[in-house]
A and B are shown apart, each in its own frame.
Chain A
Amino acid sequence: MSNAHTAVHGEHHPVDPNVPLEYQGEENSLRVIGFWLFLAQDMILFSSLFATYIVMHGRVAGGPTSQELFDVTGFTIETIALLFSSFTCGLATYEMRRGHRDAMIGWILVTMALGLVFLGFEVTEFIHNVGEGATLQRSGFLSAFYILVGTHGSHVTVGLLWVTLLIFQLLRRGITPVTARKVFLWSIYWHFLDAVWIFIFTVVYLTGKVI
């Protein structure tokens, strides 16, 4: 590990071989802890959307119910794609700490491809639902459903745009304390989105098929 780090050391701080690049220097460490605090509050934001959805689940106002609307094949594929993307994202961080820039970019590209599969199925599902008259304004249930699942989907979209920019920085600057910290923050954001999706498929999709 130390060999890989000295080969790509940054220009701002002396490199401590016992510490990964993304924690080198006080500012990097503070940014990592700050990002964790952001994730904790983002989790609370999602909790209010989940609470609204759970309360609104049965309020269909004569419109389609979750039993009729949810397509098992679609949300199964979305779940598998996101679970594997979390794994490949972990491998990108793993290669980053070993100093292998190209392998790291390769795993990020695989992660992005799986993220696009997820988004593709989600958008298709929304378009299909709207075609059947299940729109945002149809019932309290559908309003809460689209806001909760759509907020997660927009987080995934932001994650894809974010990492696209980071790939350009990696290609131009290599793995430095700054780029390593940026990719590390993106990776915990991506894992966090997978964790949120786990609760969406549990509380929204699977529960919506049970009751």
Chain B
Amino acid sequence: MEAKEHKFHREEGFPWKHILGLFLSLLLTAIAFWLALATHQPPALVITIIVILGVGQLLVQLYMFMHFTESDDRAWQVPALYFGLFIVFCVVGGSIWIMTFKSIVA
């Protein structure tokens, strides 16, 4: 047990990290709502930006709330989850790509 590296958050004092996580997630949400509902930018631009904001939200959840990098040995969940995200990107991006191509051909 002694040889292993420990990477845990110390849960001491006031939970500032959680407050910061809440603030960031509310801020990112507010920007996304404002862009989509209150501005009149081109749809493609708005959608691209709000999806990027969504990825930011995911990182806030993972690193501020979910104890993502914690482990009593190596944090194997980090490469596993990023590999999962790669598959997600292939499935969603690939579907959009192939269906757009199909509609152009048709």
| Residue ranges of A at the interface with B (Cβ–Cβ < 8 Å) | 1, 16, 18-20, 23, 29, 32-33, 36-37, 39-41, 43-44, 46-48, 50-52, 54-55, 72, 76, 79-80, 83-84, 86-87, 89-91, 93-94, 97-98, 184, 187-188, 191-192, 194-195, 198-199, 201-203, 206-207, 209-211
Tell which of A41, A51, A87, A207 touches B21, judged by Cβ atoms closer than 8 Å. A87
Residues of chain B within 8 A (CB-CB) of A192 are 61, 66
| Residues of B1-15 whose CB lies within 8 A of A | 1, 6, 8, 10-12, 15
Given the interface pairs A191-B61, A199-B54, A202-B54, the reply to whether A210 lies near B18 with Cβ below 8 Å is no
Q: List 20 A-B contacts (CB under 8 A).
A: A1-B10, A1-B12, A16-B1, A39-B81, A39-B84, A51-B92, A51-B96, A52-B95, A55-B99, A86-B25, A86-B65, A87-B18, A87-B25, A90-B21, A188-B67, A191-B65, A195-B61, A201-B32, A210-B36, A211-B43
**Which single residue of chain B is at the shortest CB-CB distance from A35?**
B77
Question: Contact between B83 and A40 (Cβ–Cβ < 8 Å)?
Answer: yes
Q: How many contacts between A and B, using CB within 8 angstroms? A: 140
Given the interface pairs A1-B12, A19-B6, A97-B11, the reply to whether A36 lies near B91 with Cβ below 8 Å is no
Question: Contact between B21 and A44 (Cβ–Cβ < 8 Å)?
Answer: no
- C-alpha gap A79/B53 in the complex (Å): 15
Residues of chain A within 8 A (CB-CB) of B29 are 79-80, 83, 198
- C-alpha gap A192/B66 in the complex (Å): 8
**The 5 nearest A-B residue pairs measured at CB:** A36-B77, A40-B84, A51-B95, A47-B88, A206-B36
- Place the interface of chain B in its size category: 35 or more
Residues of chain B within 8 A (CB-CB) of A19 are 6, 8, 72
Question: Contact between B47 and A210 (Cβ–Cβ < 8 Å)?
Answer: yes
**Which single residue of chain A is at the shortest CB-CB distance from B81?**
A40
B37 → chain A closest CB, angstroms:
6
Residues of chain B within 8 A (CB-CB) of A16 are 1
Q: Do most interface residues of chain A lie in helix, strand or loop, or is the interface mixed?
A: helix
Q: Digitize B59-71: 1 where CB-to-A-CB distance is under 8 Å, 0 elsewhere.
A: 0011011110011
Question: Contact between B36 and A94 (Cβ–Cβ < 8 Å)?
Answer: no
Question: Contact between B96 and A54 (Cβ–Cβ < 8 Å)?
Answer: yes
**Which single residue of chain A is at the shortest CB-CB distance from B54?**
A202
Question: Contact between B84 and A44 (Cβ–Cβ < 8 Å)?
Answer: yes
- C-alpha gap A136/B37 in the complex (Å): 26
B7 → chain A closest CB, angstroms:
10
A72 → chain B closest CB, angstroms:
7
